[in-house]
Amino acid sequence: MDQSAPKFDFDDILIQPAVQSTVNSRKTVSVSDEYKMLPLFAAPMDTVTDEANLHLFRSNNIYPILPRTQTKHHTLDECRRSKEWLALSLDQFEHLFGNGTVLNETDNIHVLIDIANGHMKRLVDTLVKTREQFRKELVIMVGNVANPETFFELSAAGADFVRVGIGNGSGCSTSVHTGIGYPLASLIHDINLGKAAHNGPFAKVVADGGIKKYADIIKALALGADYVMCGGIFNKALESAGNTYSANKKFEGYTVPGDQVDQYSDEVKTAFKMGSVFYKKFRGMSTKEVQAHLGNELRSSEGVTRMVQVEYTLAGWVENFTDYLSSAMSYTNSTNLSSFIGKPGWNLITENSLNRFNK
């Protein structure tokens, strides 16, 4: 890897259209994976997903993951019964799937080992040991990592999915405080390039952190991400799990949160459609609030907490995303995800170029 080469992020590039496209209408483009789902994961954050809204993400063709704050007491039987992804700490994972655990071929359990530092040798050793015991019964996602070579080590150890990206997320302050990180667009690109020098099969790449707009997701896929994980984007949806508050009428412009409301109620959904303003709590999973909730020893926070305004419904956001991704794929002569992911050309652009189109 050339460490002297500048690394780039999503605003630094534009996807290049194909010379010619045989796609006559974006309606003929398939934006779904083999399971008819969008290439999207909802981040396992307690202000994004919970037991009450998992079905809403699923019905909008987004993979939800139940956060660790709601899975800290899960048993093996509960994992078996769950039809969704579950986030577990490394300690939890080793306890549930360690020596003596018996799984049936039909179990098909999906688990995210949710740790901030996916570079730990302990994680690799745990994966190798687990894969010696379980093959298809257990689908495992790991991360987060910010080094292309670590992605290949975790793939070889038996990971099915690897979350890539450290310090990029809107709820994460790791890079600010520690100086650790890797621009996410370059990280995805470098992993995609590195596949030629490594033996497969490879884990699915899950781009995680700092996704701010539709184009960021589309560029991540074009660079080689198989899936994109979103937290802050989905928190801004009315149906996200974050505590929801009506705008306080006492303040001019309704710019201050007021009383807490039930975001899932028909009354609130109707009011939002009629133009009422609502706010959401958003917090990173490394904040002291979450540490205390999990019963962990409090340490320096590497997360942030803020209030954000609700901008859309989940269905409305998905409708727009589907249209924009379909359009991008039609420009690049891609009829399905497999012909789009990691395939289009792209160009580095100047700041002036960004300002020209970034309206």
Residue 176, pLDDT above cutoff 60: no
Domains of the chain: 10-236+315-353 (3.20.20.70), 244-313 (no CATH)
Closest CA to 13 of 256, 138, 210, 183: 183
Q: What is the pLDDT of residues 308-356, one digit of tens each?
A: 999 999 999 999 999 999 999 999 999 999 999 999 999 999 999 998 8
Cβ contact 303:284 at 8 Å? yes
Q: What is the pLDDT of residues 130-141, one digit of tens each?
A: 998 888 889 999
Could you tell me the two tokens for 332? 């690049």
Q: How far apart are CA 183 and CA 175, in angstroms?
A: 10
The pLDDT of residue 284 is: 67
Would you name the residues annotated as active-site residues? 172
Read off the pLDDT of each residue in 152-163 and give the average, rounded to a whole number: 97
Residue 175, pLDDT above cutoff 80: no
Q: How far apart are CA 32 and CA 39, in angstroms?
A: 7
The pLDDT of residue 294 is: 47
Read off the pLDDT of each residue in 34-61 and give the average, rounded to a whole number: 95
**Which residues, other chains included, contact 242 with Cβ-Cβ below 8 Å and sequence gap of 6+?**
47, 48, 235, 280, 281, 282
Is residue 310 classed exposed, middle or buried when 0-12, 13-18 and 19+ CB atoms within 10 A define those classes? buried
C-beta neighbour count of 277 within 10 angstroms: 18
Bridge partners, 143 (sequence order): 163
